Chain A
Amino acid sequence: MGERELMKGNEAMAEAAIRAGCRYFFGYPITPQSELLEYMARHLAGRGGVFLQAESEVSAINMVYGAAGAGARVMTATSSPGFSLMQEGLSYMAGAELPAVVVNVVRGGPGLGGLQPAQSDYFQATKGGGHGDYRLIVLAPSSPQEAADLVYEAFDVADRYRNVVLILADSILAQAMEPVELPPARDPASLPAKPWATVGRGERAEPNLVNSLYLAAEDLWALNQRLQAKYRRIEAEETRWAEEWTEEADWLVVAYGSMARIALAAIRQLRREEGLRVGLFRPISLWPFPSRALARRAAGTRGVLTMEMSTGQMVEDVRLAVEGAVPVRFFGKTGGVVPEVEEAVEAIRRMVAETEPRHAHPVR
């Protein structure tokens, strides 16, 4: 085991990216993401990379487009308002099938919103966000350690599918310090070649082209067919989730990111003090959503409670997955107000009371 360092999630993600072979970072500072950008500003040049502060997020994402087109491992990071500005560029990257890693440390919205933690960008992250039929692979860590692990792996996943991987974080895990064991550093020269990259024609008969403009409808249809086939492959191969106490659980809580940590504390308390058999199902890939695994787990339970730092976004995917097999309830707070563990405990108790089978109570 390597040495554990006490790191903020933001710093852990930055260092993990450099160790994954990322040598290019373009971004614009915004709270609560700024430590990630600052870390890159401090470290990238000294490790053979380029850090560039763009004049806006629009510009940053287009720099990412350029570097990705040239085959580089490249990253940007932002927070909610900045992520909205990047949507056009992300749609273009989907059309051009360019791999990159993007971090959104979500803050409360809508609009300029606030600086506090939220999960209200779920729809935007998982349902496209920009125009066109496209998907980002969306990974949601729940601790600085997992944030480092997922960023590190995200570069491989992005390259494998020529697709943007979005790390959907929140400012609890981005700002909190916890022990992190960092992955080994990889030499960018040792990474798999990208024969499609636009780095000069060389000996090839035809120049490589990276583009998202298809004026002939048949050609654009063909691109979309190819993208959809890729997305189906990603669904089959990249669905991730974690479970805690779900074996023989009578109730299930579904939560991701830092909200899953709050849920875990609440469940731990209820199991210990009241013996309630509640399990935690934590989606890690928000797209592709672990629908099948969740449906399987939910089937044997009396009810499912979805908890989010939003007014109810992921709960729609939970309902689609469960398909009415058991009741699905929702508890959430948003706008930067973080639910307390006691509130989560109360919400679980409410669900338990409401989904207790009728015959469990004496009937007269």
Chain B
Amino acid sequence: MERTLIVAGFGGQGVLSLGMVIARAGMSEGYEVSWLPSYGPEQRGGTANCHVILSDEPVACPLVGHPQTLIAFNLPSLEKFAQRVVPGGEILVESGLEAAVTREDVRLYALPALEEANRFGDTRVANMVMLGAWLELHPILGDEAIEDALRRVISKRHHDLLPLDLEAIRAGRRLMAMARA
């Protein structure tokens, strides 16, 4: 078993924490994991991304050249990484961006994560909607592991948002279930 992801978007959209929740939950489920952020000037207003690996084997290299999954929150990220997804892989994008994907050999899921987050009154949880969508496709991480990971990744002063995050994850699962139906 191996899962490889690149999560990319604007700095501040929570792409790094989305990846970190998957890595932390993966570790507590017994997988070998790695999480590698892009960093530096990119984080200030530009694009940010992280590489995540979950594997049965020790991770040879934390860099993900060709991910099975790309989760892209904006156009620059999509343009940067779409060609890198392995054939047969998948791209999860914010609704409205799907037209930019020209590949025929990947599964494409366009999800209104921002709109969904807005319904909760907080666009910051759009990343959790996408996380839920990914979890629906890859049922390898238990709810308990995800909750525990959230508690560790999200700083304590934002722990009042945890119920909202979990709600957003459930919404993401529903969106993905509908998209697949």
Contacts and interface: CB of A to CB of B under 8 A. Distances in A.
Interface stretch (A44-52, A95-103, A168-176, A223-231): A168-176
B68 interface: no
B107 to A, nearest CB: 23
Given A6-B23, A176-B34, A179-B27, A116 B65 contact: no
B139 interface: no
Interface in A25-77: 31-32
A153 interface: no
B99 interface: no
A177 B20 contact: yes
Interface in A299-348: 338, 340-342
B1 interface: no
Interface string B27-65: 100001111110111000000000000000001111101
A268 interface: yes
A250 interface: no
Contacts of A262: 61, 63
A178 B65 contact: no
Interface size class of B (residues with CB under 8 A): 20 to 34
B73 to A, nearest CB: 21
B32 A175 contact: no
Interface string A245-281: 0000000000000100110110010000000000000
B24 interface: yes
A184 to B, nearest CB: 21
Nearest to A177: B35
Contacts of A31: 39-40
A4 interface: yes
A187 to B, nearest CB: 28
B87 to A, nearest CB: 15
Given A176-B34, A261-B62, A268-B60, A6 B27 contact: yes
B60 A338 contact: no
B27 to A, nearest CB: 5
A172 B27 contact: no
Nearest to B24: A6
Given A177-B34, A178-B59, A261-B61, A32 B23 contact: no
B33 A175 contact: no
Contact of B60 (A115, A179, A265, A340): A265
A6 B39 contact: no
B62 A115 contact: no
Contact of A178 (B20, B39, B62): B62
A175 B60 contact: no
A172 B62 contact: yes
B65 A32 contact: no
A176 B40 contact: no
Contacts of B23: 6, 177
A176 B62 contact: yes
Nearest to B51: A176
Given A31-B39, A31-B40, A175-B39, A265 B61 contact: yes
A178 B63 contact: no
A214 B88 CA distance: 70
Nearest to B39: A175
Contacts of B20: 6, 177
A176 B50 CA distance: 9
A276 to B, nearest CB: 16
Contact of A6 (B35, B36, B40): B35
A80 to B, nearest CB: 14
Contacts of A340: 63, 65
A175 to B, nearest CB: 6
Interface of B: 20, 23-24, 27, 32-37, 39-41, 59-63, 65, 152
26 contacts: A6-B23, A6-B24, A6-B27, A31-B39, A31-B40, A114-B40, A115-B39, A171-B39, A172-B36, A175-B36, A175-B39, A176-B36, A176-B37, A177-B20, A177-B34, A177-B36, A178-B33, A178-B35, A178-B59, A179-B32, A179-B33, A258-B61, A262-B61, A265-B60, A338-B63, A342-B65
Given A6-B27, A341-B65, 12 more contacts: A4-B27, A31-B39, A115-B40, A171-B39, A172-B62, A176-B34, A177-B35, A258-B61, A261-B60, A262-B61, A265-B60, A340-B65
4 A-B pairs with the lowest CB-CB distances in the bound complex, closest first: A115-B40, A265-B61, A265-B60, A261-B61
